[in-house]
Amino acid sequence: MGLKTKHKKTFLLYYDQSQIWEGLTDTQAGKLIKLLHKNSNSVPPKKDKLLKYAYNIIKNKIDVDYDAWLEKCKKNKEIAEEGWKKRKKRTHTNAKERNRMNATYADNDNDNDNDNEFK
């Protein structure tokens, strides 16, 4: 399973993964970040087992995050569709109901004049 970032444009790196990064040389870390950033089924070099191990750990977390993001998108879509259905039902009102609704927003014209004169 490759990085699942077809529609999502970001991924997270976590502080609890810092031991993985600290165990890599700067060259390996650079290669790893480039592999993760490709957004594809990148395969780390077979010769470098440490790089392959680090890549698989981080890639799996990115995949889990992506699945959670997709689920959140699905729920948000369902909530939005339900809201639009309710909104469509409310727009079918007759004139009497509209007047009743507008009556609650009537202009409240309270003039509070203070006629105290200063001497």
Average pLDDT for 101-113:
60
54 close to 24: Cβ distance less than 8 angstroms:
yes
pLDDT at 1: 42
Burial of 75 (0-12, 13-18, 19+ CB in 10 A): exposed
Percent of the chain at pLDDT exceeding 70 = 66
pLDDT at 72: 93
| Residues 19-75: tens digit of each pLDDT | 999 999 999 999 999 888 886 566 777 888 999 889 989 988 988 998 999 999 999
Q: Give the model's confidence band at 83: pLDDT under 50 very low, under 70 low, under 90 confident, else very high.
A: confident
Q: pTM of the prediction?
A: 0.58
User: How many Å from the N-terminal Cα to the C-terminal Cα in the chain?
Assistant: 87
What are the tokens at 57? 């750990």
